[in-house]
Amino acid sequence: MYYKLAPSILAADFCNLGLEVSTVAQAGAEYIHLDVMDGAFVPSISFGMPVLKSLRPCTEAVFDVHMMVEDPGRYVADMKACGADIITVHAEACTHLDRVVNQIREQGCRAGVALNPATPIHVLDCVLDQLDMVLIMTVNPGFGGQKFIPYTLDKVRSLRERINRLGLKTDIQVDGGVSAANVRGIMEAGANVFVAGSAVFGGDAAAKTKEFIEIFKGYES
């Protein structure tokens, strides 16, 4: 298994975003997690296309765009144009999930679908083989700095079993309340892409990034 860190810039210093992004990328983060919030699907509003576009020249890291947006298909082409590599939409926000997943793939992006803590994994049964990544939310989306919800680990375990049984290579990403203190247990449950906001940008971002990468190395096979 190959593990990746996706620092969420929601917890970064917005006055110095370019520097924050290049710091974690240089320290070994392969993904930059960009939380787009619309104030409708989730209570808060974060940032959108202009911020992605401005950050794109700052790094070659993979732009992992988490769309907490109602009817996200409306913005797939725009996100691609602004530099998105992976576009993850919420199953709960898509009336026509199959169509949106296809839109993402047609744009040449990797497709992810996110599930809120209370959404069961079986809603993905019909599209799982079309996905590059499933994002299991480990907090209720909308804010950084929340506490990890333990029952979501069972979903990670069941999903990894299912992916293995079907012979798929789908990544499992977790997002919310992930830290160097709990990441080992989440890896053991079967996740391999880890979003971390406050755990990375809450202190020395380069050192925190390296701490995660060191933990990953101990598990890589």
Nearer to Zn ion, 66 or 160 (CB): 66
Crossing angle between the packed helical segments 17-26 and 205-219, to the nearest 10 degrees: 30
| 190 is a contact residue toward ligand DX5 (CB under 6 A) | no
| Binds ligand DX5 (CB under 6 A): choice among 11, 21, 89, 94 | 11
| 195 is a contact residue toward ligand DX5 (CB under 6 A) | yes
Residues 89-118 that bind ligand DX5 (CB under 6 A): none
What residue type is assigned to position 124 of the chain?
L
The question of whether 35 is a catalytic residue gets the answer yes
Q: Is 177 annotated in some ligand binding site?
A: yes
In the shown chain, the binding pattern of residues 148 to 187 toward ligand DX5, with x for contact by CB under 6 A and - for none, equals ---------------------------xxxx---------
Q: Is 112 annotated in some ligand binding site?
A: no
| 146 is a contact residue toward ligand DX5 (CB under 6 A) | yes
The question of whether 175 is a catalytic residue gets the answer yes
The C-alpha R_g of the chain, in whole angstroms, comes to: 16
In whole angstroms, what is the distance from residue 201 CA to residue 11 CA? 6
Residues in the chain: 221
Q: Is 122 annotated in some ligand binding site?
A: no
In whole angstroms, what is the distance from residue 194 CA to residue 159 CA? 16
Task: Give the residue among 208, 196, 121 at the shortest CA–CA distance from 165.
Answer: 121
Using Cβ positions, the residue closest to ligand DX5 within the complex turns out to be 197
Cβ contacts of 212 within 8 Å, gap of 6 or more = 5, 180, 183, 194, 196, 199, 200
In whole angstroms, what is the distance from residue 192 CA to residue 213 CA? 12
Which positions touch ligand DX5 (CB under 6 A)? 8, 10-11, 33, 35, 66, 139, 141-146, 175-178, 195-199
What amino acid positions are annotated as catalytic residues? 35, 175
Which positions touch Zn ion (CB under 5 A)? 35, 66, 175
